[in-house]
Chains A and B, each alone.
Chain A
Amino acid sequence: MIRVEGIHKSFGAVRAVRGVSFEAPDGKITGLLGPNGAGKSTTLRVLYTVLRPDQGSASIDGADVVTQSLEARRRIGALPHGAGLYPHLTARENIAYYARLCGIDAGSIDDRVDSIIRLLEIGDFADRRTKGFSQGQRTKVAIARSLVHDPQNIILDEPSNGLDVMATRSLRDLILKLKDAGRCVLFSSHVMQEVAALCDDICIIANGKVAIDDSAAGIRERTGCDDLEDAFVEAIRMVGPS
């Protein structure tokens, strides 16, 4: 369960996030939707604690991301935008490294890594060094790595970027599996169709503010647009320019 309450974040004169609030409950998929530069990544970076909010607060399962950041990180598996792997290590070693850092027992690391490799279906290339992996292979390994400590909350920043149809589909299956396991999944995207197909809740962000936060049906209704893409454009128009 992720709760965000009125966070602000500026970088110098640029006000990237200006009062974003929303909730992502357990057992649901929440989509953070918005055009490029809307403040999605900044919001997520605050959640996985690499940035501190200037104002407002956020918590992961009740653990504040600023004052209890270590506890909050324990409950998150995060896939930052453009996450990179260690090219000289194999996929398995990359995953095992994160398992060790997350404090998984030395004795059960191998089992844990094996099961995550099965879950992500990456056994074919698990023992190859990741140098030269395709974008899809890299994303899968990066997701596997972030799930290795079995976190309750999963934050994925534009996970489908650069993936082909097959990879996108298996990513969608994985997200649904996580939902069925009662996890809280929060992911960002700028692709309307992808979010609509998958999410229980959609939070549209534009210009650093929440334009609308509702189910797909609710959004159609509130904007008066049948087509979700029109609804998206309408919602962004409602926020107005900064």
Chain B
Amino acid sequence: MMRTLTAVFRKEVLDNVRDRRTLASALIMGPLFGPMLFAFVINLSIERSLDDIERVTELPVIGGEYAPNLLRYLDSRNIDIVDGPADRDAALDAVSTGTHDVVLVIPPEFGEQFSASTPARVELITDQSNSQADREARRVRGALAAYGQELAVIRLTARGVSPLALRPLNVDEVDMSTPSGRSAILLGMMSYFFIFALLMGGMYLAIDTTAGERERGSLEPLLALPVTRNQLLLGKVAATCVFMALSLSLSLGSFFVALKFMPLDELGMTPNFGPLTVGAAFLILSPFILLGAAVMTLVASFTKSYREAQTWLSVVLLAPTLPILIVSILTLRPRLEFMFVPSLSQHLLLIDMVKNEPLDPLHVAISVTSTLLFGGLLTWICARLYHREGLLG
């Protein structure tokens, strides 16, 4: 029994290692795709959060001559005043066509209203459906509000009223999130990349076990040998598992390296992803390997050709996101019953690790056992299907 299993296993590993296309997708594409996409997203969000104060923004103004003090104030807030369109209609046009994101219109009666201490009207023309324009508008709106606040304080003081009258409440927020905790939001998607890389690692081998062997015509002579089909299938699933494990560890490793080069502390994040966490993450994710290998082999065994198998297995690659997505959208806290769901349980445990929170041993135990049981069950179904006559197509 063991000898046959090893023979099949060794052959599959050798065969797979020699197939460059397979190897590239298993060991390069899967493990590198995650960190690369991740670095892209992180850098994008860093860029966006570093905007405001330091960045100089341009603001076209119409009727600036009616409010020189306001313009001087805006200028002190790093907002560059430029000449706006000729009139209000031209401004509306410019914003709707996207020539300008925001235009400030100061009407001629501004000075009059201002001196009379009645609310002086200014117009901010923008397109709120455009997120870039919205950001600029928020910046200008903030500066205008601050200017108004300063003036209010001066006016009250001039009338002998304490400006504190404007602040009946003093709200202090205490933020309990830790730098590791904040990382979890962004790093939450990390767990999916690991599962993706894991599945990619064994995808071609899983296809080869049934659809590939059949298409090549090597399945029939193989089945005519004095070995049982269970031995053949288990040897192949074992080889698939090894490639999945390899791809998973490469993916964990590449993330470990990539995180060192990402300026995460600028986002106020310090993920707990040291060598120890990497090792623990591998152990937490490893039960998913058997399940992944079995699911992929099972799906591939129903297909008629290599190409069809590839199409279906791409769908399987997305399936583990589903529970993760649902829980993320509903922002549910980890619960005992979630630990029975493969992929979701690994995701939640991984997030806890990254947040540097202690893992509940019961949660870990349930996650490991249920995932292994699912994997075992599916492997058994695969073996049953491998006995069908229809296997030969």
User: Chain A: residues with CB nearer than 8 A to chain B?
Assistant: 45, 48-52, 70-71, 73-74, 76, 78-80, 82-89, 93, 97-98, 100-103, 129, 142, 145-146, 149
- The residues of B that contact A50 with a CB separation of less than 8 Å are 220, 223-224, 389, 392
A14 to B214, CA, bound (A): 22
- The residues of B that contact A45 with a CB separation of less than 8 Å are 220
B8 near A78 (CB under 8 angstroms)?
no
- The residues of B that contact A146 with a CB separation of less than 8 Å are 221, 224
Closest 10 CB pairs of A and B: A84-B217, A100-B7, A88-B18, A84-B216, A74-B226, A80-B220, A78-B224, A48-B224, A84-B218, A73-B226
Closest to A149 in B: B226
B389 near A88 (CB under 8 angstroms)?
no
- The residues of B that contact A97 with a CB separation of less than 8 Å are 7, 11
- Does B3 sit within 8 A of A, measured CB to CB? yes
Instruction: Give 8 A-B contacts (CB < 8 Å), ordered by A residue.
Output: A48-B224, A49-B223, A70-B227, A73-B227, A74-B226, A89-B11, A129-B18, A142-B221
Count of chain B residues near A, Cβ 8 A: 23
A83 near B220 (CB under 8 angstroms)?
yes
Closest to A11 in B: B389
Given A50-B389, A83-B217, A83-B218, are A88 and B223 also a contact pair (CB < 8 Å)? Answer: no
A88 near B19 (CB under 8 angstroms)?
yes
User: Chain B: residues with CB nearer than 8 A to chain A?
Assistant: 3-4, 7-8, 11, 14-15, 18-19, 216-218, 220-228, 389, 392
B389 near A100 (CB under 8 angstroms)?
no
Partner of B225, one of A86, A89, A101, A129: A101
Partner of A103, one of B19, B226, B389: B226
A93 near B14 (CB under 8 angstroms)?
yes
- The residues of A that contact B14 with a CB separation of less than 8 Å are 88-89, 93
B7 near A80 (CB under 8 angstroms)?
no
A80 near B18 (CB under 8 angstroms)?
no
Partner of A101, one of B8, B216, B217, B218: B8
- The residues of B that contact A93 with a CB separation of less than 8 Å are 11, 14
Partner of A79, one of B4, B221, B222, B223: B221
- The residues of B that contact A73 with a CB separation of less than 8 Å are 224-227
- How close is B13's CB to chain A, nearest CB, in angstroms? 11
A55 to B14, CA, bound (A): 42
B389 near A51 (CB under 8 angstroms)?
yes
- The residues of B that contact A76 with a CB separation of less than 8 Å are 224
- The residues of A that contact B221 with a CB separation of less than 8 Å are 78-80, 83-84, 142, 145-146
Partner of A82, one of B15, B217, B222, B228: B217
- The residues of B that contact A103 with a CB separation of less than 8 Å are 3-4, 226
Closest to B217 in A: A84
A98 to B389, CA, bound (A): 22
8 A-B pairs besides A73-B227, A101-B227, A129-B18 with CB distance below 8 A are: A51-B389, A52-B389, A76-B224, A87-B216, A89-B15, A101-B7, A102-B226, A103-B226
- The residues of B that contact A100 with a CB separation of less than 8 Å are 3-4, 7, 11
- The residues of A that contact B389 with a CB separation of less than 8 Å are 50-52
- The residues of A that contact B218 with a CB separation of less than 8 Å are 83-86
- The residues of A that contact B392 with a CB separation of less than 8 Å are 50
B224 near A80 (CB under 8 angstroms)?
yes
- How close is B329's CB to chain A, nearest CB, in angstroms? 44
